[in-house]
């Protein structure tokens, strides 16, 4: 049997509603500062949905070239911005190089580093814009860059092209599990020796009239007009998720390679589970059976005991079924020990980033291990009967954390689970 190689996290990058860098975002998350507010992207006068997790003060020109930006959808811009931070943070590029949209990776062969970045919906903003042009101005006025701007794989492709990364380049489209699937797939590729490093994670931006209308009309979004009571995972008054946007990117690297170049190692990724409920297009399987099975797969893959898990970054969407069934899944897997595990949902502060969620939440999970700090579930006042886990309500806590598990559960029954180990 081929020996499995160890894989570690050597770079982090994010842009999301709580901040446009890892440092700013994580500080706000630790302090329970939410990025959820009233929608500014378009006029919501005729919409039941009024709030979202929008990225604020985003100036892509700080890291990306204006000429190229004209041919990118917002989800791609967000991914490139976060990827630049992660690549710089990893130290794989030239020492002392300033932020640049083409930071050259010099400390690893281009063929040995790949890119896997998920997006669930892709360039919905571009699709809406160009359809309006078609209807009002005719087919010859549709932008010739329309297709490469809107397709979901373009964030991954742009990262690879701009940084000259020639390993596997892919985009898992598995709804809200996609960001975690991207990281897990990259982990397996490195562990099995196909590449030595990956830029991986997720990105999403569909806070637009069509995106909000679609989720709103299927009763998935919270109709709350109060930003502080809209995304309230595990609360008895939860009534839907808050749509968010952003990107979370990790650099994963083979352990020996990272050590040999003196890289800063945040954590080790040790387990990955992925499966399907095979039950319903939007609803999780009863009592969270699929999610429970996925967590068991990840724990088995990590070759650890379930008692080793210190913290779970829950999918925690603030929808009635997800939070109820995810709680049941955790109780099923961990039994009586479930009450001893910290379980929190950072979506209470970011909203739900769909295909970008797993990437951003992986960043938070890794930072939780590094800082020995469990982020809170903001807005949680009272839970339902049988929802009795330690959801870390409203105020984060310092704690010695050994293993962190991150759940991502998506429409179509897609489940993905990642496990990270504290190496301190």
Q: Inter-axis angle of helices 154-163 and 74-90, to 10 degrees? A: 40
For residue 269, which of 358, 339, 171, 350 has the smallest C-alpha distance? 358
State yes or no: is 280 an active-site residue: no
The residue from 93, 176, 200, 294 that is catalytic is: 176
Q: How many residues does the chain have?
A: 424
State yes or no: is 352 an active-site residue: yes
For residue 211, which of 132, 147, 134, 123 has the smallest C-alpha distance? 123
Beta strand segments in 161-196, E? 169-170
- In this structure, is the dihedral angle defined by the CA atoms of residues 127, 128, 130 and 132, taken in order, positive or negative? positive
Do 316 and 365 meet the contact criterion of CB atoms below 8 Å apart?
A: no
Task: Give CA–CA dist 380/389, Å, rounded.
Answer: 12
The residue from 93, 200, 257, 352 that is catalytic is: 352
The residue from 163, 257, 315, 414 that is catalytic is: 315
CA distances, 305 to each of 262, 299, 309, 365, 419 (Å): 31, 7, 8, 19, 12
State yes or no: is 71 an active-site residue: no
Beta strand segments in 97-195, E? 113-118, 169-170
Centre a 10 Å sphere on the Cβ of residue 94 and count the other Cβ atoms it contains: 13
Report, as residue numbers or ranges, the catalytic residues: 176, 315, 352
């Amino acid at each position: 049997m081929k020996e499995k190689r160890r894989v570690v996290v050597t770079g982090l990058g994010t842009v999301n509603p709580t901040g446009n860098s890892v440092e700013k975002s994580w500080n706000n998350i630790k302090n329970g500062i939410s990025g959820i507010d009233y929608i500014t992207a378009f006029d919501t006068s005729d919409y039941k949905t009024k709030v979202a997790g929008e990225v604020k003060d985003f100036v892509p020109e700080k890291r990306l070239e204006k000429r190229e930006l004209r041919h990118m959808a917002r989800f791609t811009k967000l991914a490139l911005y976060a990827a630049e931070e992660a690549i710089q943070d990893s130290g794989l590029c030239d020492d002392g190089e300033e932020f640049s949209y083409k930071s050259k990776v010099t400390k690893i062969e281009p063929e040995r580093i790949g890119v896997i970045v998920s997006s669930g919906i892709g360039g919905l903003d571009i699709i809406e814009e160009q359809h309006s042009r078609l209807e009002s101005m005719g087919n010859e006025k549709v932008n010739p860059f329309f297709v490469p701007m809107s397709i979901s794989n373009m964030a991954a492709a742009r990262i690879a092209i701009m940084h000259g990364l020639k390993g596997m380049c892919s985009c898992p489209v598995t709804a809200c599990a996609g960001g975690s699937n991207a990281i897990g797939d990259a982990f397996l590729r490195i562990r099995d020796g196909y590449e030595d490093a990956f830029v991986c994670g997720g990105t999403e931006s569909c806070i637009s009239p069509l995106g909000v209308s679609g989720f709103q009309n299927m009763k998935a979004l919270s109709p709350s007009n109060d930003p502080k009571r809209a995304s309230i995972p595990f609360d008895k008054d939860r009534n839907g998720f808050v749509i968010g946007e952003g990107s979370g990117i990790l650099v994963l690297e083979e352990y020996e390679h990272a050590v040999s170049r003196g890289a800063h190692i945040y954590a080790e990724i040790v387990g990955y589970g992925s499966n399907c409920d095979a039950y319903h297009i939007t609803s999780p399987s009863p009592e969270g059976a699929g999610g429970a099975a996925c967590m068991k797969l990840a724990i088995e893959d990590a070759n650890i005991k379930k008692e080793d898990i210190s913290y779970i970054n829950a999918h925690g969407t603030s929808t009635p079924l997800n939070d109820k069934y995810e709680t049941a899944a955790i109780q099923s897997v961990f039994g009586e020990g479930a009450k001893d595990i910290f379980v929190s949902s950072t979506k209470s502060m970011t909203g739900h980033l769909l295909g970008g969620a797993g990437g951003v939440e992986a960043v938070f999970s890794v930072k939780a291990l590094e800082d020995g700090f469990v982020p809170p579930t903001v807005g949680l006042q009272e839970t339902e009967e049988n929802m009795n886990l330690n959801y870390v309500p409203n105020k984060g806590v310092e704690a010695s954390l050994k293993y962190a598990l991150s759940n991502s559960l998506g429409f179509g029954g897609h489940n993905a689970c990642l496990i990270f180990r504290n190496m301190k």
